[in-house]
Chains A and B, each alone.
Chain A
Amino acid sequence: MSTASHEATDATARRGKAPAGERLADWADGRLGIYGLAKANMRKIFPDHWSFMLGEVSLYSFVIIILTGVYLTLFFHPSMQEVVYNGPYVPLQGIRMSEAFESTMHISFEVRGGLLIRQIHHWAALVFVAAMLVHMMRVFFTGAFRKPREVNWVFGFLLLVLGMFTGFTGYSLPDDLLSGTGVRFMEGAILSVPIVGTYLQMFLFGGEFPGHDFVSRFYTIHILLLPGIMAALLVGHLILVFYHKHTQWAGPGRTNKNVVGMPLLPVYMAKAGGFFFLVFGVIAACAAIATINPIWAFGPYRPDQVSTGAQPDWYMGFSEGLIRVMPGWEINLWGHTLQLGVFIPLIIFPLVLVTIAVWPFIEAWVTGDDREHHILDRPRNRPVRTGFGAAWISWYLILLVGGGNDLWATHFHLSINAITWTVRIGFFAIPALTFVITKRICLGLQRRDRDKVLHGRETGIIKRLPHGEFIEVHEPLPQDQMHTLTAHDQPEPLELGPDVDENGVRRKVDRKTKLRAKLSRSMYGEGAQIPKPTAAEHAEITSGHGHH
């Protein structure tokens, strides 16, 4: 034994045995190397704002969906074998149905807690996609997608799209009359694809619709393929959030180089852990209060039956809107039919989603900005981006109205034809209108900010001057608010430079550059932003020449 070892043993003897927690950590570190990971991440700082928790809502709903989904797989039979129902639900007794439907009835009426778990699963799915969309809009309107977060934007977008399709395949599994109508719709859309449509349909359904395969195929896609990809993307998404660090709002002491907030451990661990249970609680409460997808009311799927009010879950509603408002055009040539009434909506469907997804790249290209951004934009300070986002939302919403046109008709006592025509015109007009209005509102708010910085806040105190004039007393803003209101930078629009060079020769400017300059002017040129107050302006106004 060496001297050092002797000393170490002595030290141990002196301090007594290490506490159990320390020994456990030591054991784990020796095998997993967690010390380095913990050291780097336990004190990771996260900024605080409610809108940063929307992503958490999606994450936790996803976890809830997986947990409840596992329970459902224990009882669900993904089979289209025909059986006769003999369960406790009287109005379906003796009716022929697929085993998929029968096992879902079994889950709903006979499995302990089955209906509650089913409803939690389904409500969580609706909330999951809704939270993803709102989270994405938060990222969009605050410019959180800018460098270095473009890849994470794409990951998030893919999660949204996959979430929609995972939802759709799951909704189709019970093989009820409502979802079967949705699957029939999808089959029709596939059939409308020129040349390959029929082959694709035969491949997917293994024969004529509905065949005997689609439930088991959708089952694999729903529980294995798509959630697997989503889980991988989700991990990547979270790793990138850690790697990039979270964005923060502008404010005193907050720069592009720091993060002001609370450490992950213990504050965010407690908050996030607690928030998980709150999310679970809200979803469980929804599931306990309200029915979702009452398949017993719809009955089993039969291709010869259909119910009115056949809509998909909300996240597919805009595709329903596209098909409902599209005129039934078709082209008949050489004995072949091109079903434009279905094919055009099928093309526009991904375009709607891609339109919002490509914006960050367009914006980056136009601005030519390759700096890193960790400070969020206030939406008003980027009127064109905000206008575009609002226009996209209005576009999405008008399509949702189209998707529910029958319920709008019955509940507002309107003609369904009038609604359809409104949506047709609104499809083109409303986004344009929304863009203009939103941009105007943003500019107005920028003016207001400018006014507040230069002239202070309206106090609501009315003072009468000796000569009888009434004035409202304005109070200068506190320093930190002035900082926050003027922290954003205002890019200069891209200039093409003179038409001719120093030798009088016409410069060649390619079309792409011209387009870029034009877009840049529309985003940052005159009329697209209100110049923020400068220190000099502020000094001049507050130098004290009477009231202002």
Chain B
Amino acid sequence: MKKLSARRRHPLAALVVLLFALAATGGLYAAFAPAEKAQADSAQSLATEEGKKLYSVGCASCHGTSGQGTHNGPSLVGVGAAAVDFQVGTGRMPAQQPGAQVPRKKAIYDQAQIDQLAAYIASLGPGPAIPTKQQYSPDGADIANGGQLFRTNCAQCHNSTGKGGALSEGKFAPTLDGVDPKHLYEAMLTGPQNMPNFPDSTMPQKEKKDIIGYLAQVDSSKSSSPGGLELGGLGPVSEGLFAWIFGLGAMITVAIWVAAHTAKARKS
């Protein structure tokens, strides 16, 4: 121990001790810290961090610098990741201009960016999470039950096969044709814009799945129209227009043709 004792006043002694101490704490930390969680946390915080950056550029002007809302946009505290995924994923947000309703348009963020934005908004307060494929996939849905639920809860605004309809003052229930099942699920979960929301407490997950199954059957590119052209699926107004323009129009054309061809005795 003499050696140690002799050199304890060496100018570099403090540095050596510090190195040892650091190595010890680091080693202990490495030994005892839950390694996986630490990694996930860093990924999460990274996503949140990135999301905040995207948010500051694309969203903050209306929703406030920390999502508290302004007179141009509502507070996003507690809306949850599902709401972000729906609004940004369907291109509704960022909004192009103020108006009666923000319409669906081409999404300007890719899914990775949307996830980052969602992570940031979710960090502001607890809210519904993005549903899993298991939840929203139409596979295994009870289509008939979905139809019944759709007619009871959705058809009064969206029309009985989801072709959309008008609401007051220029607002509207959009067509559901071609909407991603995930977005259908999120819309039911979060109630975007004028739509009421259907949380799991009022509409269990299975029922949401049934509705999505029904829509996949009657209002998608795969659905068939047994009677021929659907004419927009809008009911008697478009049928009446068709009857007048093509039905009666053809009748009058034919009548003119028949009247023009007669057994008239030509004079010359």
Q: Do A and B come from one complex?
A: yes
- Nearest A residue to B243 via CB reads A126
Cβ of B134 within 8 Å of any chain A Cβ, yes or no, is: no
**With A53-B259, A108-B226, A309-B165 in contact, is A314–B240 under 8 Å at CB?**
yes
Q: How far is the CA of A123 from the CA of B148 in the complex (A)?
A: 28
A90 partner residues in chain B, CB cutoff 8 A: 143-144, 217
Question: Which of A25-33, A187-195, A294-302 is the interface stretch?
Answer: A294-302
- CB A378 to nearest CB in B, in angstroms, measures 18
**With A95-B148, A286-B243, A289-B228 in contact, is A309–B255 under 8 Å at CB?**
no
Question: Which of A410-418, A494-502, A525-533 is the interface stretch?
Answer: A410-418
- CB B238 to nearest CB in A, in angstroms, measures 8
Check if B157 sits within 8 Å of A91, measured CB to CB.
no
Interface centre among A127, A267, A418 (most CB of B within 10 A): A127
Cβ of A162 within 8 Å of any chain B Cβ, yes or no, is: no
Cβ of B166 within 8 Å of any chain A Cβ, yes or no, is: yes
Check if B163 sits within 8 Å of A309, measured CB to CB.
yes
Contact mask for chain B residues 135-162; partner A; CB cutoff 8 A; 1 contact, 0 none: 0000000011111100110011111110
Check if A291 sits within 8 Å of B230, measured CB to CB.
yes
Check if A126 sits within 8 Å of B240, measured CB to CB.
yes
Check if B160 sits within 8 Å of A297, measured CB to CB.
yes
Cβ of A50 within 8 Å of any chain B Cβ, yes or no, is: yes
**With A57-B251, A296-B226 in contact, is A410–B239 under 8 Å at CB?**
no
Cβ of A177 within 8 Å of any chain B Cβ, yes or no, is: yes
- Which residues 305-356 in A have Cβ within 8 Å of B in the complex? 305-314, 317
- Nearest A residue to B167 via CB reads A416
The binding surface of chain B is classed by DSSP as helix
Please count how many residues in chain B sit with their CB below 8 Å of the partner chain's CB atoms. Answer: 63
Check if A262 sits within 8 Å of B166, measured CB to CB.
no
- Nearest B residue to A171 via CB reads B236
Size category, A interface: 35 or more
Check if B166 sits within 8 Å of A50, measured CB to CB.
no
Contact mask for chain A residues 36-54; partner B; CB cutoff 8 A; 1 contact, 0 none: 0000000000001111111
Q: How far is the CA of A362 from the CA of B215 in the complex (A)?
A: 56
Q: How far is the CA of A355 from the CA of B147 in the complex (A)?
A: 44
Check if B225 sits within 8 Å of A291, measured CB to CB.
yes
Cβ of B237 within 8 Å of any chain A Cβ, yes or no, is: yes
- Which residues 397-444 in A have Cβ within 8 Å of B in the complex? 403-407, 409-410, 413-418
For A123, give its contact among B147, B165, B225, B247 (CB under 8 Å).
Answer: B247
Check if A294 sits within 8 Å of B243, measured CB to CB.
no
Check if B251 sits within 8 Å of A127, measured CB to CB.
yes
Cβ of A173 within 8 Å of any chain B Cβ, yes or no, is: no
B161 partner residues in chain A, CB cutoff 8 A: 297
Q: How far is the CA of A57 from the CA of B152 in the complex (A)?
A: 41
- CB A118 to nearest CB in B, in angstroms, measures 9
Cβ of B248 within 8 Å of any chain A Cβ, yes or no, is: yes
A309 partner residues in chain B, CB cutoff 8 A: 159, 163, 165, 234-235, 237
Q: How far is the CA of A287 from the CA of B214 in the complex (A)?
A: 27
- Nearest A residue to B238 via CB reads A407
Cβ of A357 within 8 Å of any chain B Cβ, yes or no, is: no
24 contacts between A and B (CB under 8 A): A50-B255, A54-B251, A54-B252, A54-B255, A56-B255, A57-B251, A57-B255, A90-B144, A130-B243, A134-B248, A282-B251, A282-B254, A285-B250, A290-B228, A290-B239, A291-B226, A291-B230, A299-B148, A309-B159, A309-B165, A311-B236, A314-B241, A415-B169, A416-B166
Having A53-B258, A305-B156, A417-B169, one finds 13 other A-B pairs with CB under 8 Å, namely A48-B262, A57-B251, A130-B243, A177-B155, A293-B236, A294-B230, A294-B233, A297-B233, A299-B148, A302-B151, A308-B166, A406-B166, A410-B164
| Chain B contact residues, CB within 8 Å of chain A | 100, 143-148, 151-152, 155-161, 163-170, 172-173, 214, 217-218, 225-231, 233-244, 246-248, 250-252, 254-256, 258-260, 262-264
